[in-house]
């Protein structure tokens, strides 16, 4: 509880880091939003109106799905999404380096601490990020064939859920645990501390560490769902405003999560 | 002689004479006179597959030009999966120029190694059925002799006119010692063996089941000048390709088949003599004329049933069913489908001219043998499900249609596959619609055709089996249906009836069908055939753009909409364009010409909501529907909802994964 409170207080002192993350988020997501909007308009303006009959709509969907399998249509979209993914792949860990350094070093001005962190640690953070992604993908070797088998052998939705859901849950838990584990690795890297000691700390204190993460996740989930639902309900300009406000809250919640873990680590490491 | 004895004889002799006369002319003759059973009839119950059969009616003259006459004796070793055969083949030269060589198809050699043309092109599979590793097959011609005993074996060599693949031995050339002059014959005696593969591509074995298709050295087809547009007469020579089927001249087959005693045999033609048994084996004797191929199947597990069928459109045929035991309970469905097909096709095209039709239902593990046509014998789908859906009737309808389009109108399946497959597909579609109420999903089929190719294309020139099947079956069927939509069903039946009458027992090409169509409809179809048969066009109309501006007319403020339409594909006929307005009114315009673009202006006081090309979906050949409709305005709220929803999904996915 202390760690959560301290983390909350600490997150409030990081306007520079939160600001930079927010700018990156908009620079990355607004063009993505515009790109998606262009395709949505294209599809909506072609979708057969109800006066033409249900068969028109069925045929449209069928033809559209076939079109998506056409390389000349699918490749540019896949390429664009890949470009977005690659930008995230580099920028997220690089900016995280700034966040972690800023949380570790309270003496420097916030902006200086952030930029120094990016300069000093971003390359290591990117490599560790790639390692985390690779480890996240390992269970897919078993999970994907099992889920495909479950999908095709399911006779009803319950069987489908029984066949697929456990694997999805496993993948979620696995990726969440890896993220937490690597958070503690990054703490050690940021403060030039012993990596093994940090790892040992993580495994010894896995329960409170997971508890902190779950608490932050629960708050994020409630807030996120409420904002998302509101943006769908109040479609139009209010929806756009909510859609833009949500990232600020989400980023702030994320910084709080890291800060809370950092406080816990600092308070209880030997 | 004493008086009383003479008086008795005087009385008795006339009585004896009367009795004799009565017993000869009135009472039926019995064993007393030792009268033999009628020739060709088995003394046992005639409804067994062992009995000999007679033709429904005697044929006064051959229906076709008999070019090749085969007398074949074959023995089947069920343990070694081997056929040992001897054939005497007489080839009568149908042309006008001497020929110095004969060509033979040795189709089983397609399976002799992974390097054959068939195996390389197909990847060792056909219609999803893969070859079992190591299960190769082959045909060896061990001896070729002339009728005077001269050994010609050394004159046999393999040729590969299509791809030069030296590993392919499916076509062999025999250089004759003397040329065969026009109208003359050459007779050869050949011995051959066939090592049967595990069936995955039409012929072979599966357990105890044997499907013997393309199992004998078959003389290649010789085309006379003018056949299918040929400028010079000559052989039709092609190797066995991954996609191709078969072609041959009409002739006579006189075949004896020796099998283990417990096997039943289904075959082309009719059984000419009763089965004879000896040494634990039995021999069948089949005869068929006016056919261009001979196939047979054997199994100890067949459940046999036969039913006659005759009506106004069917002179008389014996339907012989050789069922896998797991489908014995479905015999009524098979018979019904066969009878309906024979009757309807008889009505639509012409009477079925043969006395028998055999239907083989392969076992579940012989799926490679199923769905295939041979003259007077068809293979249904393998008995994989105990309660199959309508695909049971569909395959019967399709393969019986092939009796007309392939069997009797004997087009070249290798070079012009659409002439039998599209026609059989059309026939099957119409039969299922008429008799089983199956509507079909024609627009979905059209939309699926994303890789159209010319219909008149050699089978092996398609990029892969998917493109081949999609075009020769589905696109070809849609082309025929598009023709039918233009000329009406009554005229379409007239066209097909005329085509059948004009080309039965002959070898037509695409141009011959076009000529029939033009003769019956009295119009040119050249543009249609250029685009959709010789070319790979489909139809694709797009509402490309809607622009609006305000105009003033007679003091009123109106809106002028400019709608641009684009034609990406071929041209068939004028297309309707529908305009829907906010006040509920609808305007229909027609794009009459064959231009690539069309601009239509509409001035209205009501907002235009949307424009649609071909709103009633009458264009069967249109394969792209995502661009047929354009809305003039979209709902902003839903635009935002969809954008936020999809954007969130993408963000979450990328955010979670990366």
B100-114: pLDDT as tens digits: 999 999 999 999 999
More confidently predicted of A242 and A88 = A88
**Each residue's pLDDT tens digit, A135-148:** 999 999 988 888 88
All residues of chain A having their beta carbon less than 8 Å from the beta carbon of residue B546 are: none
Q: pTM for this one?
A: 0.83
**Residue B191: its H or E element:** strand B185-195
All residues of chain A having their beta carbon less than 8 Å from the beta carbon of residue B647 are: 29, 32-33, 36, 243
What average pLDDT does this structure show over A265-269? 88
CB of A227 closer than 8 Å to CB of A246: yes
Q: Which of A199-203, B395-399, B487-491 has the lowest mean pLDDT?
A: A199-203
All residues of chain A having their beta carbon less than 8 Å from the beta carbon of residue B607 are: none
- B641, A240: Cβ pair inside 8 Å? no
- A52, B629: Cβ pair inside 8 Å? yes
**Is residue B642 less than 8 Å (CB to CB) from chain A?**
yes
**Each residue's pLDDT tens digit, A67-80:** 988 888 889 988 99
**Each residue's pLDDT tens digit, A104-122:** 988 889 899 999 999 999 9
Q: Is the predicted pLDDT of residue B30 greater than 50, yes or no?
A: no
Distance, in Å, from the CA atom of B442 to the CA atom of B456, rounded to the nearest integer, reads 21
Of A66, A67, A81, A227, which to mutate for an interface test with B (greatest number of B Cβ within 10 Å)?
A: A66
| Structural domain containing residue A75 | 2-268
**Is residue B648 less than 8 Å (CB to CB) from chain A?**
yes
Give the HSE-up count for residue B444: Cα atoms under 13 Å, Cβ half-sphere: 10
Question: What pLDDT is recorded for position B56?
Answer: 52
What average pLDDT does this structure show over B454-469? 95
Question: What pLDDT is recorded for position B61?
Answer: 85
Distance, in Å, from the CA atom of B499 to the CA atom of B511, rounded to the nearest integer, reads 12
All residues of chain A having their beta carbon less than 8 Å from the beta carbon of residue B639 are: 37, 40-41, 44
Which residue carries 């659409």 as its tokens?
B418
Distance, in Å, from the CA atom of B462 to the CA atom of A202, rounded to the nearest integer, reads 61
Neighbours of B580 (CB within 10 A): 22
CA quadruple B362, B368, B370, B372: dihedral sign: negative
Q: Is the predicted pLDDT of residue B202 greater than 80, yes or no?
A: yes
Of B449, B546, B619, B626, which to mutate for an interface test with A (greatest number of A Cβ within 10 Å)?
A: B626
End-to-end CA separation in angstroms for chain A = 20
CB of B212 closer than 8 Å to CB of B297: yes
All residues of chain A having their beta carbon less than 8 Å from the beta carbon of residue B615 are: 52
**Is residue A243 less than 8 Å (CB to CB) from chain B?**
yes
Distance, in Å, from the CA atom of B518 to the CA atom of A93, rounded to the nearest integer, reads 72
**Residue B156: its H or E element:** strand B156-158
Mean of the per-residue pLDDT values for chain B? Answer: 91
Structure tokens at A128: 């560790």
**Is residue B634 less than 8 Å (CB to CB) from chain A?**
yes
Structure tokens at B188: 């050869």
**Residue A142: its H or E element:** helix A140-153
Work out the percent of chain B whose per-residue pLDDT is above 90: 85
Question: What pLDDT is recorded for position A70?
Answer: 87
Distance, in Å, from the CA atom of B370 to the CA atom of B362, rounded to the nearest integer, reads 6
Q: Is the predicted pLDDT of residue B52 greater than 50, yes or no?
A: yes
Alpha carbon B109 to its chain centroid, in Å, reads: 23
DSSP B207-251: TTEEEESS-S-EEPEEE-TTGGG-SS-EEE-----SS-------E
Residue of B nearest to A69 (CA): B450
**Each residue's pLDDT tens digit, B399-432:** 999 999 999 999 999 999 999 999 999 999 999 9
Residue of B nearest to A39 (CA): B643
Mean of the per-residue pLDDT values for chain A? Answer: 89
What average pLDDT does this structure show over B475-479? 98
Of A27, A39, A40, A226, which to mutate for an interface test with B (greatest number of B Cβ within 10 Å)?
A: A40
Distance from CA of A146 to the nearest CA of B (A): 20
**Is residue B447 less than 8 Å (CB to CB) from chain A?**
yes
What average pLDDT does this structure show over B23-41? 36
- A48, B629: Cβ pair inside 8 Å? yes
Neighbours of B32 (CB within 10 A): 7
Helix (H, G, I), strand (E, B) or coil at B357: strand
Question: What pLDDT is recorded for position B1?
Answer: 37
| Domain tally, chain A | 1
Pairing of strands B218-219, B99-105: antiparallel
Distance from CA of A249 to the nearest CA of B (A): 15
Ordered alpha helix ranges (H), B310-354: 331-348
Structure tokens at A205: 């204190």
**Each residue's pLDDT tens digit, B288-324:** 999 999 999 999 999 999 999 999 999 999 999 999 9
Of A48, A77, A84, A86, which to mutate for an interface test with B (greatest number of B Cβ within 10 Å)?
A: A48
What average pLDDT does this structure show over B533-553? 95
Distance, in Å, from the CA atom of B182 to the CA atom of B96, rounded to the nearest integer, reads 5
Distance from CA of A166 to the nearest CA of B (A): 18
- B443, A56: Cβ pair inside 8 Å? no
Q: Which residues contact B414 (CB under 8 A, 6 or more apart)?
A: B236, B238, B241, B244, B245, B246, B247, B458, B459
Helix (H, G, I), strand (E, B) or coil at B162: coil
**Residue B475: its H or E element:** none
Helix (H, G, I), strand (E, B) or coil at B279: coil
Crossing angle for the helix pair B489-503 and B331-348, to the nearest 10 degrees: 90
- B658, A47: Cβ pair inside 8 Å? no
- A66, B637: Cβ pair inside 8 Å? no
Q: Is the predicted pLDDT of residue A150 greater than 90, yes or no?
A: no
Q: Is the predicted pLDDT of residue B587 greater than 80, yes or no?
A: yes
CB of B262 closer than 8 Å to CB of B281: no
Q: Exposed, middle or buried: residue B388 (CB in 10 Å: 0-12, 13-18, 19+)?
A: middle
Structure tokens at B2: 């004493």
- A235, B656: Cβ pair inside 8 Å? no
Distance, in Å, from the CA atom of B96 to the CA atom of B99, rounded to the nearest integer, reads 9
Can you say whether residue B440 is alpha, beta or left, with left for phi > 0 and alpha for psi between -120 and 50 degrees? left
Q: Is the predicted pLDDT of residue B41 greater than 50, yes or no?
A: no
**Residue A260: its H or E element:** helix A237-268
Helix (H, G, I), strand (E, B) or coil at B282: strand
Work out the percent of chain B whose per-residue pLDDT is above 70: 91
CB of B647 closer than 8 Å to CB of A32: yes
Beta bridge partners of B552: B557
Question: What pLDDT is recorded for position B12?
Answer: 56
Question: What pLDDT is recorded for position B182?
Answer: 97
Nearest to B376 by CA among B406, B419, B333, B340: B406
All residues of chain B having their beta carbon less than 8 Å from the beta carbon of residue A59 are: 443-444, 447, 617, 625
Count of pairs with CB atoms under 8 A, one residue in A, one in B? 107
Question: What pLDDT is recorded for position A156?
Answer: 77
End-to-end CA separation in angstroms for chain B = 133
Q: Is the predicted pLDDT of residue B2 greater than 70, yes or no?
A: no
Distance, in Å, from the CA atom of A8 to the CA atom of A23, rounded to the nearest integer, reads 21
Structure tokens at B512: 């011959």
In the structure, what pLDDT confidence band is assigned to residue B200 with cuts at 50, 70 and 90?
Answer: very high
- A36, B631: Cβ pair inside 8 Å? no
**Residue B257: its H or E element:** strand B251-260
Q: Is the predicted pLDDT of residue B27 greater than 70, yes or no?
A: no
**Is residue B609 less than 8 Å (CB to CB) from chain A?**
yes
CB of B216 closer than 8 Å to CB of B99: no
CB of B505 closer than 8 Å to CB of B290: yes
DSSP B496-558: HHHHHHHHTTB---HHHHHHHHHHHHTS--HHHHHHHTSS---B-EEEEEEEEEEEEETTEEE
All residues of chain A having their beta carbon less than 8 Å from the beta carbon of residue B634 are: 41, 44-45
Helix (H, G, I), strand (E, B) or coil at B403: helix
Question: What pLDDT is recorded for position B59?
Answer: 63
Distance from CA of B196 to the nearest CA of A (A): 36
Distance, in Å, from the CA atom of B239 to the CA atom of B162, rounded to the nearest integer, reads 7
Q: Is the predicted pLDDT of residue B497 greater than 50, yes or no?
A: yes
All residues of chain A having their beta carbon less than 8 Å from the beta carbon of residue B651 are: 29, 32
Nearest to B255 by CA among B89, B376, B463, B120: B89
Nearest to A179 by CA among A213, A220, A221: A213
DSSP-derived letter for residue B472 is I
Give me the domains of chain B, ranges plus CATH numbers. Answer: 66-197+210-249 (2.60.40), 433-532 (no CATH), 541-638 (2.60.40.10)
Helix (H, G, I), strand (E, B) or coil at B330: helix
Q: Which residues contact B383 (CB under 8 A, 6 or more apart)?
A: B323, B324, B326, B327, B361, B362, B363, B364
Of B644, B646, B652, B655, which to mutate for an interface test with A (greatest number of A Cβ within 10 Å)?
A: B644
Neighbours of A9 (CB within 10 A): 12
**Is residue B175 less than 8 Å (CB to CB) from chain A?**
no
Distance, in Å, from the CA atom of A119 to the CA atom of A98, rounded to the nearest integer, reads 8
Q: Is the predicted pLDDT of residue B32 greater than 60, yes or no?
A: no
**Is residue A92 less than 8 Å (CB to CB) from chain B?**
yes
In the structure, what pLDDT confidence band is assigned to residue A8 with cuts at 50, 70 and 90?
Answer: confident
What average pLDDT does this structure show over A239-263? 85
ipTM metric: 0.84
What average pLDDT does this structure show over B588-611? 94
Distance from CA of A270 to the nearest CA of B (A): 33
Q: Which of B55-64, B103-112, B191-200, B501-510 has the lowest mean pLDDT?
A: B55-64
Distance from CA of B444 to the nearest CA of A (A): 7
Using CB atoms, pick whichever of A40, A46, A62 lies closest to residue B639. Answer: A40
All residues of chain A having their beta carbon less than 8 Å from the beta carbon of residue B439 are: none
All residues of chain B having their beta carbon less than 8 Å from the beta carbon of residue A64 are: 626
All residues of chain A having their beta carbon less than 8 Å from the beta carbon of residue B641 are: 232, 235, 239
CB environment B472-506: b (16+ within 10 A), e (fewer): bbbbbbbbbbbbbbbbeeeebebbbbbbbeebbbb
CB of B250 closer than 8 Å to CB of B292: yes
Structure tokens at B243: 């996609």
Question: What pLDDT is recorded for position B28?
Answer: 38
Question: What pLDDT is recorded for position A149?
Answer: 83
Q: Which of A193-207, B61-75, B213-227, B262-276 has the lowest mean pLDDT?
A: A193-207
């Amino acid at each position: 509880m202390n760690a959560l409170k301290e983390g909350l207080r600490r997150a409030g002192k990081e306007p520079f880091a939160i600001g930079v993350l927010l700018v990156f988020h908009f620079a990355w997501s607004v063009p993505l939003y515009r790109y998606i909007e262009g395709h949505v308009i294209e599809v909506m303006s072609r979708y057969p109106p109800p006066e033409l009959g249900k068969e028109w709509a069925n045929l449209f969907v069928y033809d559209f799905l076939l079109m998506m399998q056409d390389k000349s249509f699918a490749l540019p979209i896949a390429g664009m999404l890949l470009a977005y993914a690659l930008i995230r792949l580099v920028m997220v860990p690089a900016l995280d380096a700034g966040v972690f350094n800023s949380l570790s070093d309270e003496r420097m001005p916030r902006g200086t601490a952030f930029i120094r962190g990016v300069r000093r640690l971003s390359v290591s953070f990117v490599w560790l990020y790639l390692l985390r992604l690779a480890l996240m993908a390992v269970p897919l070797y078993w999970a994907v064939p099992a889920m495909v088998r479950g999908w095709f052998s399911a006779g009803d939705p319950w069987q489908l859920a029984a066949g697929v859901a456990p694997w999805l849950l496993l993948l979620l838990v696995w990726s969440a645990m890896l993220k937490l584990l690597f958070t503690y690795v990054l703490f050690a890297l940021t403060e030039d501390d012993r990596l093994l000691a940090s790892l040992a700390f993580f495994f010894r204190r896995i329960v409170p560490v997971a508890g902190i993460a779950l608490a932050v996740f629960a708050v994020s989930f409630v807030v996120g769902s409420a904002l998302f639902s509101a943006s769908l309900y109040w479609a139009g300009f209010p929806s756009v405003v909510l859609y833009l406000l949500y990232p600020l809250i989400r980023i702030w919640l994320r910084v709080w999560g890291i800060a809370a873990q950092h406080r816990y680590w600092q308070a209880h490491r030997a | 002689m004493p008086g009383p004895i003479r008086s008795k004889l005087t009385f008795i002799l006339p009585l004896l004479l009367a009795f004799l006369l009565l017993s000869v002319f009135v009472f039926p003759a019995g064993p007393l006179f030792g009268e033999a059973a009628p020739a060709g009839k088995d003394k046992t119950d005639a409804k067994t597959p062992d009995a000999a059969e007679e033709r429904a009616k005697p044929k006064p003259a051959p229906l076709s030009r008999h070019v090749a006459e085969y007398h074949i004796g074959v023995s089947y070793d069920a343990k070694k999966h081997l056929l040992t055969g001897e054939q005497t083949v007489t080839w009568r030269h149908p042309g006008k120029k001497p020929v110095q060589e004969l060509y033979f198809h040795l189709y089983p050699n397609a399976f002799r190694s992974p390097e054959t043309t068939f195996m390389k092109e197909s990847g060792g599979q056909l219609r999803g059925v893969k070859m079992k590793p190591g299960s190769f097959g082959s045909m060896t011609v061990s001896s070729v002799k002339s009728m005077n005993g001269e050994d010609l074996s050394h004159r046999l060599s393999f040729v590969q006119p299509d791809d030069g693949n030296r590993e392919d031995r499916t076509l062999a050339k025999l250089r004759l010692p003397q040329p065969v002059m026009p109208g003359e014959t050459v007779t050869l005696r050949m011995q051959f063996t066939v090592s049967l593969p595990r069936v995955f591509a039409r012929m072979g074995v599966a357990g105890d089941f044997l499907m013997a298709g393309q199992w004998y050295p078959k003389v290649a087809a010789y085309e006379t000048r003018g056949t299918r547009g040929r400028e010079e007469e000559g052989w039709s020579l092609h190797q066995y390709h991954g996609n191709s089927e078969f072609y041959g001249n009409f002739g006579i087959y006189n075949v004896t088949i020796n099998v283990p005693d417990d096997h039943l045999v289904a075959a082309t033609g009719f059984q000419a003599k009763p089965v004879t048994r000896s040494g634990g084996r039995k021999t069948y004797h089949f005869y068929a004329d006016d056919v261009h191929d001979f196939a047979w199947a054997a199994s100890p597990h067949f459940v046999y049933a036969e039913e006659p069928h005759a009506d106004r459109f069917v002179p008389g045929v014996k339907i012989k069913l050789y069922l896998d035991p797991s489908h014995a309970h479905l015999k009524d469905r098979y018979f019904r489908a066969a009878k309906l097909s024979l009757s309807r096709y008889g009505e639509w095209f012409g009477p079925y001219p043969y006395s028998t039709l055999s239907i083989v239902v392969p076992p579940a593990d012989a799926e490679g043998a199923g769905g295939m046509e041979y003259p007077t014998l068809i293979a249904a789908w393998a008995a994989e499900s105990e309660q199959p859906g309508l695909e049971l009737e569909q395959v019967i309808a399709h393969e019986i249609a092939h009796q007309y389009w392939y069997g009797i109108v004997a087009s070249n399946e290798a070079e012009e596959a659409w002439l039998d497959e599209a026609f059989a597909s059309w026939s099957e579609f119409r039969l299922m619609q008429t008799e089983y109420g199956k509507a079909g999903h024609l627009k979905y089929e059209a939309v699926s055709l994303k890789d159209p190719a010319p219909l008149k294309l050699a089978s092996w020139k398609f990029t892969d089996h998917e493109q081949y099947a999609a075009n020769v079956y589905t696109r070809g069927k849609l082309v025929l249906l598009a023709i039918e939509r233009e000329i009406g069903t009554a005229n379409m039946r007239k066209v097909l009836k005329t085509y059948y009458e004009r080309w039965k027992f002959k070898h037509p090409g695409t141009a011959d069908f076009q000529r029939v169509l033009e003769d019956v409809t009295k119009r040119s179809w050249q543009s249609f055939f250029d685009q959709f048969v010789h070319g790979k066009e489909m139809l694709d109309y797009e509402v490309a753009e809607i622009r609006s501006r305000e105009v003033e007319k007679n003091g009123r403020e109106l809106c002028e909409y400019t709608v641009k339409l684009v034609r990406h594909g071929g041209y068939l006929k004028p297309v309707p364009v529908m305009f829907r307005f906010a006040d509920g009114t609808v305007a229909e315009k027609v794009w009459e010409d064959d231009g690539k673009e069309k601009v239509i202006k509409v001035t209205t006081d009501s907002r235009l909501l949307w424009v649609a090309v071909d709103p009633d979906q009458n264009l069967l050949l249109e394969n792209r529907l995502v661009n047929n409709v354009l809305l003039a305005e979209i709902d902003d709220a839903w635009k935002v909802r969809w954008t936020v929803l999809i954007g969130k999904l993408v963000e979450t996915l990328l955010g979670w994964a990366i």
